[in-house]
Amino acid sequence: MNRLSKGHPKTDSPLPFNGRTAGGILATIQKSKFLASTCLAFAFLFSAAPGFAQLQDPDHLIFLYMNGVAGDQDKAQDAYIINSDGDVLHQWDNSGITSPETAPGYLTPNGHFLRGIMSDSARTNSWPVGKWGKLQLVDWDGTVLWEYDGSDATECFHHDAELLPNGNILVAAYHRYDPTTAGAEFGWNFPAQEKLYMDVIYELRPNLSDGSTEIVWKWEWIDHVVQDLNPALPNYVDNISNHPEKFDLHYYDSSSVPLPILLGSHSHIDSIDYNPLRDEILISSATYNEIYVIDHSTTIAEAESSSGGNRGKGGDILYRWGNPEAYDYGGGDTNLYGEWQWTDTQHDARWLCDGSGNITIHNNRSTTDSKPPGQFNAHSQVQEIAVPYDGDGYAYTTGAPFGPSAPTILAEYNAANSNVLNSTFSGGGQKLANGHIFSTSAAKFWLGEHDESGNLVWDFDLELLQLDRLESERGGQVFKAQKYPLNYTGLARLTNLNQTLAESYNAWVKSVFCMTNVPGTGMLDDLDNNGVVNLVEHALKMDPFKSIDGELDHLLKAVSMVGNEFVVEYTRADNFSDQPFSYEHSTDLDTWHPSIPDSDYTEQTTDNLDGTETVLVTFSNVVSDKLFIRLKISAN
């Protein structure tokens, strides 16, 4: 077992691609002054990612971030990229930080490591399970690029975070309430409970240039609760079941939840996912045993209300599933876990990346052995639900639970493989493009993979990554590991794929958005409305999401005119296999001629060591008083 970082060999040439495109960027020279302007580039693309034949799974690599355990929060800290043979391809040594249980870790599309770590305030203040407090973005070499401490005496980040396509970050935070005053404030009717926490979701905008952070959006659970006990309060309703768009404040007494570690954690959001097609957020509550969809298109003020946003419902629930008794449907008061309930202490609710709108859920505690209420076992499942979405909204029949009536069970616990899908808490289930299910069993410190028929085809004991430690020091947890395809852009420093511009662009869209049919992501679209289309920005290593100071310097610009030599300069990405850059010249902007290398011009490139190169192009034998140069970008 190799714990040292090692790189992959370069792959063979990518599979054939057929396509045509034309376009470019224009620089103009007059002997009296320099001018510059831009032209469009366009393409149609298909993509193929060749794999490494020597790997058991040639299509993916695994990223995982080790966490501590309740009794030893420093037990395991490092993050790894491994293949399915367990070979360590890259490692982040997280010495000096504490990665508590449930701290999230993700490999971002630009190769950064997004992680939660224990803050000083989170360590010293009393919070429910899952607290950590501080978010960081870490470079490939371990350098901390940005951090934000979301913990104080009132609030603390916990469980999950979600990187949005525009680089902003969604994160869940506990908010502390005083149970003794909560009755008068919003109708809380368990005043003897010593602690009470509900969730807030923040959207953070990190600035890696100066380290600052802006809170640009938030949503609060408390704004959308109703209760049927105190008619004097504005959140009173006389019938909970008539309001499935709200949370029943008294669905359960959070001082007596089945899992003691959840005491006081009333809403307990444990996963966050984002749908760029609909601008919606998917959250999971381990205490209400449900998943929820809310609108992200709202303003902060609209998110506090029941109006506004794309769906016109403000921050109210758009869709919910898993436990209809939470809104007074199900098996009735005699059965805490009603006949309709399908999820219990579930985690890792996520939309599929195929654009179907279906959702997968890691259901931590199934009812396989018909355990009585409050005694569900740790025999976990990965479920898929066909969400009833009709294009305009989520179908719902008044007086009935949200559909579907049952999930599809993709994979589940089997006693013959007792370490896989056997996790009372945390864990994950990821449906891969080939239909396989990649799972994380946090409690067992184990990974697994099932095929389309639910058969276990691979598993891995994570302690094998710790063989250089004393046996007593091994172990820990992983909140949820992730499998990334080889053409995921965050793996570029390892895989060195020989991609054309079209393949690279396609991989970028899939890596950033998860889906490929998101409006605004076409090659001819202009996401940041700066006049430069997405394909050109990608080819020149600009940011298609936002205009950054100095970014337009990447475009072709005139540098000098000395004698009969005209020099232009631009910055471009340096990793395309099809050499998509060429030049044309004109003296009148009507007739254009292909510029021939070594005859009409020469190039000099400087590696900027950041995936870009600066290009100086010298055009010789200029005889006209006026010359136009056009950079042509072709995605073949």
DSSP-derived secondary structure letter, 495: H
- pTM beyond 0.85: yes
| pLDDT tops 60 at residue 99 | yes
Query: Is 315 a domain residue?
Result: yes
- The pLDDT value recorded for residue 1 is 33
Whether residue 420 sits in one domain with residue 530: no
Is residue 390 located within the same domain as residue 516?
Answer: no
Two tokens, residue 245:
């768009």
Range of 119-128, 305-314, 565-574 with top mean pLDDT: 305-314
State whether 15 and 154 are in the same domain: no
Tens digit of pLDDT for each residue in 187-216?
A: 988 776 778 999 999 999 999 989 999 999
Q: Is residue 572 part of a domain?
A: yes
| Sheet containing 456-461, strands listed edge to edge, beginning at the edge strand earlier in sequence | 428-431, 437-441, 446-450, 456-461
Question: Does some domain include residue 86?
Answer: no
Lowest mean pLDDT among 40-54, 254-268, 402-416, 497-511: 40-54
**428 and 290 inside one domain:** yes
| In-domain check, residue 483 | no
- Which of 437, 459, 481 is at the close of a domain? 459
Final residue belonging to a domain, choices 459, 481, 512: 459
- What range does the domain containing 178 cover? 94-459
Q: Which two tokens stand for residue 109?
A: 């599309």
- Pair 428, 532 in one domain: no
Which comes out higher in pLDDT, residue 257 or 416?
A: 416
> What are the tokens at 618?
């010298």
Question: Is the per-residue pLDDT at 25 higher than 80?
Answer: no
| Structure confidence at residue 468 (pLDDT) | 82
Residues 534 and 591 in one domain: yes
Q: 405, 429, 459: which is the final residue of a domain?
A: 459
Give the separation between CA 471 and CA 93, rounded to whole angstroms: 19
Is 427 part of any domain? Answer: yes
Both 449 and 515 in a single domain?
A: no
43 and 171 within one domain: no
How high is the pLDDT of residue 12?
A: 28
- What is the distance between the alpha carbons of residues 113 and 491, in angstroms, rounded to a whole number? 11
The helix or strand, by DSSP H or E, that contains position 538, with its residue range, turns out to be: helix 534-539
Instruction: Say if residue 4's pLDDT is above 60.
Output: no
* Residue 8 clears pLDDT 50, i.e. is over it: no
Residue 59: C-alpha distances to residues 51, 131, 434, 483 (Å): 6, 34, 10, 9
Burial of 96 (0-12, 13-18, 19+ CB in 10 A): exposed
pLDDT reading at 184 higher than 60: yes
Determine the 3-state secondary structure of 412 from DSSP. strand
CA 177 from centroid of its chain's CA atoms: 30
pLDDT at residue number 27: 52
- Both structure tokens of 380: 């976990």
Task: Reply yes or no on whether the pLDDT at 150 is more than 70.
Answer: yes
Instruction: For residue 227, give both structure tokens.
Output: 């209760």
pLDDT the model gives residue 339: 56
Q: Stretch 93-122: mean pLDDT, rounded?
A: 92
Q: Count of domains in the chain?
A: 2
Decide if 168 is inside a domain: yes
Section 536-555 average pLDDT: 80
DSSP 225-281: EEBSS-TTSTTB-S-GGG-TTSEETTSS-TTS-SSGGGTTBSS-EEEEEEETTTTEE
Higher-pLDDT residue of 217, 94 = 217
> Of 186-190, 241-245, 469-473, where does the model show the most confidence?
241-245
Which pLDDT does position 44 carry in this prediction? 26
Tell whether 475 is covered by a domain.
Answer: no
Pair (134, 215) in one structural domain: yes
Q: Is 298 helix (H, G, I), strand (E, B) or coil?
A: coil
Q: Does 45 share its domain with 157?
A: no
How many Å apart are CA 106 and CA 533, to the nearest integer? 29
Least confident of 231-245, 255-269, 352-366: 255-269
Shared domain check, 256 and 144? yes
- The whole-number pLDDT of residue 375 equals 46
Q: Which of 310-319, 373-382, 447-456, 624-633 has the lowest mean pLDDT?
A: 373-382
Same domain, 185 and 315: yes
**Residue 10 clears pLDDT 60, i.e. is over it:** no
Instruction: Tell me if 558 is assigned to some domain.
Output: yes
